[in-house]
Amino acid sequence: MAGFETLAWRGDLPGALEIIDQRALPARHDLLRLETVPAAWDAIKTLAVRGAPAIGVAAAYGVVLGAQEALARGGGGDGVAQAALAAADHLATSRPTAVNLFWALERMRRALGRLVDRGVAGDGAFVARSLLAEARAIHEEDRATCRAIGRHGAALLGRGARVLTHCNAGGLATSDYGTALGCIYAAVEGGNPVTVLSCETRPLLQGARLTSWELERRGIPVTLISDGMSGFAMQRGRVDAVIVGADRIARNGDVANKIGTYGHAVLAREHGIPFYVAAPVSTFDLSLASGAEIPIEERAPDEVTTFGGQRVAPEGVDVWNPAFDVTPARLVTAIICERGVIQPVDEEHVMALAGAGGWCR
């Protein structure tokens, strides 16, 4: 989309995963070539690749890297399979909240299990190629999923809607197009002149650095605001809808998304503004009854105490840095997924639309 690929597998076997280094945007458009499992793990952990769907795709290719390394060492089918499983286990430790990571890794494990069940896992090259095919399938399916989410979401936006979004749920967070931003792109492509308010998203500024960059590249009018301005913008009638992505959605419809999302949802309810969540079915964790059970990642204090490489807080100050918060289902107007729109948001309607295909331990 708009002249960039968030991530791509380059070559066949041997090959490598190439990603945009999102830590460098918008100042630089750097590409990273990942050739080992530790490199893929580090890219996910340090947010070089980020966004729940993109993390899942990157992790799937990371499993291929593990198989490829074993194959290069002369491993047979058993060795390649064991290396792939070890890679999956290691990649699962990179980040705890985005369930797409675990969904994709489980899908890769199941693909490997099918090879064993069919008795065709004795050839190391065949195992590695089969895993690459599965990772590519996950990648392509995510592209189609984002397009479907966009179509469903665009139908919810009125003519010329002014949409507030938080963090980045666009092409940079997925294989292509995005989830929350996908709804905006589809609306604009359909002739609806939607405009966007992008919250900067402290502490790592994904809204300022990434969402604004994406929208400008697509020629969509975007106004950047700080996170604390959203309530005033709603009060002054500058917001018609809020659309965000998600990293994990519980069975009852509670939503974990980038820290700050909950506050926007409360403000939207106060001002009678619809609050939409756009996410693929793979983001639903059907094993969790509610958002209270969602594991919330806590990140390093220096993300809060520094800004642009400069310290902005006194030495020794205590810091709490949760990367996500949980928005209760009662504040969510609708969840938009590739299968349609979940409304009202409750366990009955979540299970009716996402019950087959969501993550379940």
* Residues marked as catalytic: 247
In this prediction the pTM is: 0.96
pLDDT in tens, the chain (361 residues): 456 899 999 999 999 999 999 999 999 999 999 999 999 999 999 999 999 999 999 999 999 999 999 999 998 899 999 999 999 999 999 999 999 999 999 999 999 999 888 776 779 999 999 999 999 999 999 999 999 999 999 999 999 999 999 999 999 999 989 999 999 999 999 999 999 999 999 999 999 999 999 999 999 999 999 999 999 999 999 999 999 999 999 999 999 999 999 999 999 999 999 999 999 999 999 999 999 999 999 999 999 999 888 999 999 999 999 999 999 999 999 999 999 999 999 999 999 999 888 877 6
- The DSSP result for 108-155, as a single string, is HHHHHHHHHHTT--S-HHHHHHHHHHHHHHHHHHHHHHHHHHHHHHHT
Domains of the chain: 7-147 (1.20.120.420), 152-354 (3.40.50.10470)
| Separation of CA 317 from chain center | 31
Can you state the percent helix, strand and coil of the chain, rounding each to 5? Answer: 45, 20, 35
CA distance 71 to 79: 8
8-state DSSP, 178: B
